[in-house]
Structure 1
């Protein structure tokens, strides 16, 4: 093979592009910053948004992702929905002829921005937090009794504890309000897809590794099933199983920052694989699956005929260990001897959902000690989903301006060795919270442009 030592950086970029000329067109979306709408549902800086959109348009980005926050729109009183800031934003997006995806966010946002910046925090609705002061069991709870106000516990999916409504009903009402408010955008096909926030951080998972409780990577996290509603359900399940003594969470599962070998439940030949452990983990993941099935059933009533998206997290640390402890606490019963994603993907397939998988890229130096394998996890979920006929998309878990990362993403999105020529439906690029392009130099912009052209299968210059 001819050496490439004498080839310039620009020539290498062109050579890489040429590999993808004429390949499938994959839409590239950019996520708009979280804080462009304030807590009073006002668009903060329309001119700055327009400037950013002009620059994204120049790069041939296909569309944007907009987070619509439950805590903002229904923030002050139950059933009082204010969409004014989003109306203003969507009118601007229409001017630029962007496709846009909507993320209906039923979780909070801490305001911790990327690159050391800070954004406005977004909580759950104020009236929900007031209810939580009287009844803290509406929130996920750990073994020490700490309440996580990031999102509502699935234990109240059918409990009328939110001013006469259940957890599922407040989600349904919010979705229905959105559909009625922006029905014209659906009719004209402007909205490309709707992503449904299913749990912590909008991902389909329990809030098992919260920084607010001191979790630090690569801690295994903790089970989040100690509110009274989930505990009652666990006790009932144990009685039905014929072993009432199993109606409790494990006592030996360690703490947020434990390692698997430090906890009897997760260590090699640990309790996770005995009779009680298998019962508990099947119940725990079953709660996640049941929540998913019920919420998507209601979602389909609101968004019939609309592309729906659900995000699967990338909990890749301890993936090479036997128990996969971090996945277990997050609700994915995926130890080394079991495919824990297939039952969840089967539910998503039944509802015709597009699965968005978080893509984390190569590991850091610290990941070796954590038995991490983000690539192995990604391909497990992707292949399981494809085998079920699911449409697969991906999202970068971190903002990146690195050509090596772009190369990895394109190779992953368009697996040329796949005999069935399967490829991603779309890719979402995570932006920095501040005005995106101001932080990028000319080389970074060039590399991003090359990446987008490769994703489009088009090597034409700007």
Structure 2
């Protein structure tokens, strides 16, 4: 028994040292491709000069030591009609990236991209999916979307079109799986050139609710808005309360107006009904993330890593009235712990439960953000992104989960502090690499950011 115990202890120590060495010596530095190359010049059409510019950017990236390029593979763009897949654009862009000796990082983007009218390119959720699920389930289309706590003039919740509500996953999941299978089959010859395959789990490709996406009154830097006021969400709550624990049998679903009053009073921070409401809201989202990852892991070849992303909701963390409320309405954590490391460790554990952690890459945004410069700025947002990025690093490290960083705002790449912050996180925060939003922000005439990114790559690869 002693020898067996020592053997496994030695193996565990070896793996820990191996992972540490990998973290030190194998950093990856990537860039995001444009949402579509037609954005470069005339946004109404796709032109050869768009592709020529993209090729030049790829060449610059290769010369500065960039490893790979991530590309949104838009579900609504590829499968505009049910079971009819058009991969033409992705055949071309993958070939361009591969021909420059760069790795490809496809993002299976099940979320919507619906920009302002300045662009002719958009990729909403496929129209047919709403009708299909409505017919299969008998559930009204508005119920298949996330329903906000904010009500319109008719007393109906505002809805988000950015992602199918995960409470409708019984009908949506087979479609996600089918798309994933078709992607893997079509790009079988490209599999050796994929650095990883990233999975969109919610709005903007992130595992979250659309709590600050402006279809309602939720926006930065306010608390955000709950998105669970559909009948299918309410039914899920009651099922959860019955199966989770007998002591919750008497819990009631908190109606939107009651929820607003509870938060505004400021005296209900430890109310058991509110705590458990947030617990269900968080658990439900995390289970969705886990189920999506499980689906992808079963379809995608085992030698390819699967990536997922959480957003850096860095505001309202220090809110004296209700700490971390923006992260709660976003669904990232539950309300039982206000400690960032503990809260995110618990959330990541739930997502990863029973999954092969060695195949999963975790991406986290806002790594370039800095804390407010003044007390006045701080009081507007109660924001502490610098603390948050290290909390996530510690949470990931405690689970032996590889964490990668991403900037959340390309405008910040113009400033020294952003590069200092990102360098420090890679050096001291156990981040395995950085993805820059976007390729055009570190190439061409963006000389400052190009110089900084090149210097970062050189520092960690030499």
TM-score, normalized by the shorter chain, greater than 0.5: yes
Distance 1:423 1:238 in 2: 38
Question: Does the Cα contact within 8 Å between 1:101 and 1:191 map onto a contact in 2?
Answer: yes
CA displacement, residues 110-154 of structure 1 (integer Å, 9 cap, x when unaligned): 3269xxx86733211132355689622111111221111010001
What's 1:301 paired with?
298
Aligned residue for 2:219?
A: 216
**8 A Cα contact 1:155 1:227, kept in partner:** no
Q: Do 1:334 and 1:341's aligned partners in 2 also have CA atoms closer than 8 Å?
A: no
Question: Is 1:102 aligned with 2:114?
Answer: no
Shift of the 95–281 alpha-carbon distance from structure 1 to 2, 3 Å rule, reads same
Task: State the secondary structure of the residue aligned to 2:453.
Answer: helix
Structure 1 pair 227/250, CA: closer, same or farther in 2 (3 Å)? closer
Q: Is the 8 A contact 1:41 1:72 kept in 2?
A: no
Give the Å deviation of 1:170.
1.0
Question: Residue 414 of structure 1 aligns to a residue in which SS?
Answer: helix
Give the conservation status (yes or no) of the 8 Å contact 1:235–1:248: no
- Of 295, 311, 315 in structure 1, the residue corresponding to residue 309 of structure 2 is 311
Q: Is the 8 A contact 2:114 2:122 kept in 1?
A: yes
> What SS does structure 2 have at the residue aligned with 1:29?
strand
Query: What is the correspondence of 1:84-95 to structure 2 with a 5 Å cutoff?
Result: 84-95=88-99
2:29 equivalent in structure 1 = 28
TM-score relative to the length of structure 1:
0.80
1:142, 1:223 within 8 Å by CA — same for their partners in 2?
A: yes
Taking a change above 3 Å as real, the CA distance of residues 93 and 380 of structure 1, as seen in their structure-2 partners, is same
| Greater helix share, structure number | 2
Q: Give the match for residue 429 of structure 1.
A: 436
Structure 2 match to 1:184: 189
* Aligned-residue offset at 1:36: 2.2
In structure 1, what is the Cα distance between the partners aligned to 2:348 and 2:251? Answer: 31
Conservation of the 8 A alpha-carbon contact between 2:217 and 2:225: no
Mean alpha-carbon deviation: is it higher for 393-402 or for 245-254? 245-254
1:324 corresponds to: 324
Shift of 1:326: 0.5
Query: Is the contact between residue 364 and residue 405 of structure 2 (CA under 8 Å) also seen in structure 1?
Result: yes
Structure 2: distance between partners of 1:300 and 1:247: 34
Task: Name the residue aligned to 1:361.
Answer: 369
Alignment of 1:14-413 (within 5 A): 24-36=25-37, 45-75=50-80, 77-111=81-115, 120-129=121-130, 135-143=141-149, 144=151, 145-158=157-170, 166-186=171-191, 189-239=192-242, 241=246, 243-244=249-250, 246-249=252-255, 251-254=257-260, 264-265=262-263, 268=266, 270-305=267-302, 306-321=304-319, 322-335=322-335, 336-337=337-338, 339-349=342-352, 350-351=354-355, 352=357, 353-358=360-365, 359-365=367-373, 366-399=377-410, 400-413=413-426
Q: 2: CA distance between counterparts of 1:248 and 1:439?
A: 53
**Match in the other structure for 2:5:** none
RMSD between superposed Cα atoms in Å: 2.9
Matched residue SS, 1:101 = strand
Label 1:231 to 1:98 Cα distance change in 2 as closer, same or farther (>3 A). Answer: same
Deviation sequence 1:324-366 (CA, Å, 0-9, x none): 1101101123545463322321144442221111124213453
Structure 2 residue aligned with 1:11: none
Task: Name the CA shift for 1:288/1:123 in 2 (closer, same or farther; >3 Å).
Answer: same
Equivalent position SS for 1:51: helix
- Structure-1 separation of matches of 2:449 and 2:44: 35
CA deviation string 1:423-451 (max 9, x = no partner): 3222101116x68634414x443333222
Distance 2:282 2:218 in 1: 21
Cα distance change on mapping 1:181 and 1:42 into 2, 3 Å:
farther
Stretch moving more, 349-358 or 140-149? 349-358
C-alpha distance after superposition, 1:139-172 (max 9, x if no partner): 11112211110100011111xxxxxxx1111111
Deviations 1:238-259 (A, max 9, x none): 45555455134453443xxxxx
3-state SS of 1:185 partner: helix
Distance in 2, matches of 1:200 and 1:26, equals 28
What is the CA–CA distance in structure 2 between the aligned matches of 1:246 and 1:182, rounded to whole Å?
A: 48
Aligned length: 406
